[in-house]
Amino acid sequence: MKHLQPQEAWQYVQSHPDVLFVDVRMEIESLYVGRPPGVVNVPWYEYPDLMPDAARFAEAVAREARDKHQPVLLICRSGQRTLEAGAALEAAGFEQVAHVTHGFEGELDAQFRRSTISGWRFEGLPWEQM
């Protein structure tokens, strides 16, 4: 799996118009916190269970993808869920998987806040909110 910093990920999206950009956060996170434009929401896990199901996730992404050769870019809150989700996709046969290091909101700062030191939103990249 490729590890792309937010700026690199945005450049990747721009230079690969066929990329399937997947937000693996829960639907409520994606809608209300914000997300990059053009992402497809396929949660790694969902409320109330909060338990990932790798096979279910890979099947859901496969339904969105043209085929398993299509590039897939993953984003989550901080870049952690995408590591497991990406490994699940690779195990399911996806050949070109990348993820956004630091995710949409980035790492926690000293005051336990996100979007202040890293992440897609911190970098000033395009995003939308419900």
Q: Which amino acid is at 47?
A: Y
Structural domain containing residue 45? 2-100
**C-alpha to C-alpha distance for 40 and 26, rounded to whole angstroms:** 12
Q: How many folded domains does the chain comprise?
A: 1
pLDDT at 2: 97
Assigned domain for 117 exists: no
37 inside domain: yes
In a domain, 113, yes or no: no
Dihedral of CA atoms 15, 29, 64, 9 in degrees, nearest 10, equals 20
Answer yes or no: is 9 within a domain.
Answer: yes
Q: What is the CATH number of the domain that holds 15?
A: 3.40.250.10
**pTM as predicted:** 0.96
CA-to-CA distance for 1 and 81, rounded, in angstroms? 13
> Is 126 inside any structural domain?
no
The Cα 75–Cα 42 span in angstroms is 10
- State the pLDDT at residue 130: 83
Q: In whole angstroms, give the CA distance from residue 6 to residue 68.
A: 24
**Residue 47, domain member (yes or no):** yes
| Positions in the chain whose pLDDT score sits under 50 | none
In a domain, 93, yes or no: yes
